[in-house]
């Protein structure tokens, strides 16, 4: 199969990430080689500090890659200009954080709208997306008036609003109780199934690996399986 016309959403070759703190350089990712196909629901697990968040940040270009290659839809993001990176983040990928990261002084509607405005788009579809995540009745609420599960639903709506092909989710259920956590997982699975969104999920919960068709285990910045 010709590379670039295949089904890979993500492919990394020898991806490395170092952080320099003062005089000390720490190698956090030690040569990651992974392939994630379009439509995969991929789980990334590993102990605290093994580099899971760093890997998601590198793949979504929230962090600069130190060495190696990372292809998104066949294009090496290491070579991207600032404007190509901005376009990638606005239209190809969506990111869901463990602590939701909603803007406290914006309403539910405005939080989702902001993501569209940044991408240079209007306010269509916002109510529809909030309906899809079960939050249509809360358009004028502020984040602090919502439960954690509800805030995460809004954060998912924000990640979805520009119709990304890939969603990175960094422990999206880490702060939620089991029942709400499962609801969020079911919502991600539904998006994966019906809209064919590629999901890359970091989780500490081994039970959730049943949602995944592919699992990578990280240890000390390396994939062990």
| Residues near ligand ATP (CB under 6 A) | 19, 21, 28, 46, 48-54
Output the smallest distance, CB 139 to ligand ATP, in A.
32
| Tokens 């439509």 found at | 39
Q: Residue 119 gets which letter from DSSP?
A: T
Cβ closer to ligand ATP: 4 or 49? 49
Q: Could you say which of ligand ATP, Mg ion, none residue 17 binds, taking C-beta under 5 to 8 angstroms by partner kind?
A: none
Q: Specify the length of the chain in residues.
A: 225
The answer to whether 53 contacts Mg ion (rule: CB under 5 A) is: yes
Q: Could you say which of Mg ion, ligand ATP, none residue 21 binds, taking C-beta under 5 to 8 angstroms by partner kind?
A: ligand ATP
Please say whether the dihedral angle defined by the alpha carbons of residues 89, 114, 121 and 173, taken in this order, is positive or negative: positive
Identify whether the C-beta of residue 165 lies closer than 8 Å to the C-beta of residue 91. no
The answer to whether 60 contacts Mg ion (rule: CB under 5 A) is: no
Q: Which residue is nearest to Mg ion (CB)?
A: 53
Distance from C-alpha of 135 to C-alpha of 1, rounded to nearest angstrom: 43
Cβ closer to ligand ATP: 48 or 144? 48
Distance from C-alpha of 90 to C-alpha of 92, rounded to nearest angstrom: 6
Q: Could you say which of Mg ion, ligand ATP, none residue 107 binds, taking C-beta under 5 to 8 angstroms by partner kind?
A: none
């Amino acid at each position: 199969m010709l590379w670039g016309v295949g089904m890979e959403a993500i492919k990394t070759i020898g991806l490395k990430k170092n952080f320099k703190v003062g005089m000390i350089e720490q190698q956090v990712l030690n040569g990651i080689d992974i392939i994630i196909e379009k439509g995969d629901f991929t789980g990334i697990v590993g102990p605290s500090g093994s580099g899971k968040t760093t890997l998601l940040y590198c793949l979504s270009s929230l962090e600069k890659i130190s060495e190696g290659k990372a292809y998104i839809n066949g294009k090496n993001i290491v070579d991207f200009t600032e404007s190509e990176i901005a376009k990638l983040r606005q239209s190809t990928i969506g990111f869901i954080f463990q602590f939701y990261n909603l803007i406290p002084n914006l309403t539910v509607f405005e939080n989702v709208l902001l993501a569209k405005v940044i991408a240079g788009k209007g306010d269509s579809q916002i109510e529809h997306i909030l309906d899809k995540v079960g939050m249509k009745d809360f358009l004028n609420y502020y984040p602090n008036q919502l439960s954690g599960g509800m805030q995460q639903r809004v954060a998912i709506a924000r990640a979805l609003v520009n119709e990304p092909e890939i969603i990175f989710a960094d422990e999206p259920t880490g702060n939620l109780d089991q029942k709400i956590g499962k609801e969020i997982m079911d919502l991600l699975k539904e998006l994966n199934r019906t809209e064919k969104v590629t999901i890359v999920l970091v989780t500490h919960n081994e039970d959730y690996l049943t949602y995944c068709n592919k699992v990578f285990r990280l240890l000390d910045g390396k994939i062990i399986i």
